[in-house]
Structure 1
Amino acid sequence: MVDDNIVIDKLRYINEYTNDLKQIRGMSKQQYVDDIIVQRAVERTFMNLIQSCIDLAQHIRASEGLSPSGTAKNEIESLGIAGILSPEVQEQVEEAVGFRNILAHRYGDVNHDIVYGVLHDDLYWFDQFQQEIAQWYQELE
């Protein structure tokens, strides 16, 4: 059985990180590329956001006895297989896990144009993730 406190806390963190990133979206690409402090803040916030999604997925998977643990992408996949996440959200959050790995492990140089694009074009998927998890959670009660 899921721990209410974990689900609520993780959803709150996901919401806070997403909102933090939305506040940064007003700057131009050139301003972003020229400001290493903002770049680091955005990258770290993305890592925290995506890790919170993984942690929440891991907790739900383990609590609900879903497919066995594996990689971080497997944690997200298990929620899709169980019908907790839509196929679109599952796919996008799995891609985000790969993005987090690039940011966290610095595989090559981080492409700031890509990070800027994700910041402006892909936060929607984290809102969707929150909504689908919250809807599933409400249906449990």
Structure 2
Amino acid sequence: MLHNKLIEEVLRHLEFLEKIRRRGVNWDDVFELYAVLHALQIHSQSIIDYLLHTCAVVGIRGETPLKCIASLASAGLLSGEEREALRRLVGFRNIIVHEYGEINVEKIRQVLEERRYAYVSEIIMKLHKELDARGLLDP
């Protein structure tokens, strides 16, 4: 149940970020910048929550997001490249949440323009399908 709700949240924010990217962002407008930051924050947090929930349901050690990601990779559920992308996502989310005043707008622009959020969404969708195939999604 929670797996599916979190996937819906990831996809909802993926769609929103795609819409923003296609429309274009006035990076000098603080309201538009904050809209992008908030969408990226919720998107990232939904992915992190999905990973932590997966570790709990599957019985894999993962007290923190980074430990969970490492454990999922050790269990063969994530490739090395996927593990690194998710580790970067955790760091990125931490910057958005804890260092609002220090955010580099150019880096945020790159994340949006290069669609980095889409890649981590693909990783989670792939993991979701694998969990479903193994009968490991929560009821």
Compute the TM-score of the two structures, normalised by the length of structure 2.
0.86
Change (3 A) 1:24 1:64: same
Change (3 A) 1:82 1:95: same
Q: How well do the aligned residues superpose, as a CA RMSD in angstroms? A: 1.7
Paired with 1:68 and 1:26, the residues of 2 have a C-alpha distance of 36
1:102 aligns with 2:95: yes
User: Pick from 49, 59, 63: which aligns with 1:65?
Assistant: 59
Paired residues, what number? 134
- Letter of the 1:17 partner, please give it: H
Shift of 1:27: 4.8
Compute the TM-score of the two structures, normalised by the length of structure 1.
0.85
Q: How does 1:1-141 map onto structure 2 within 5 Å?
A: 5-28=1-24, 31-69=25-63, 71-106=64-99, 109-121=102-114, 122-141=116-135
Paired with 2:124 and 2:19, the residues of 1 have a C-alpha distance of 18
Percentage of identical aligned residues = 27
Instruction: Give the gaps of 5 or more residues in structure 1.
Output: none
Instruction: Give the gaps of 5 or more residues in structure 2.
Output: none
Shift of 1:13: 0.6
Paired with 2:117 and 2:48, the residues of 1 have a C-alpha distance of 16
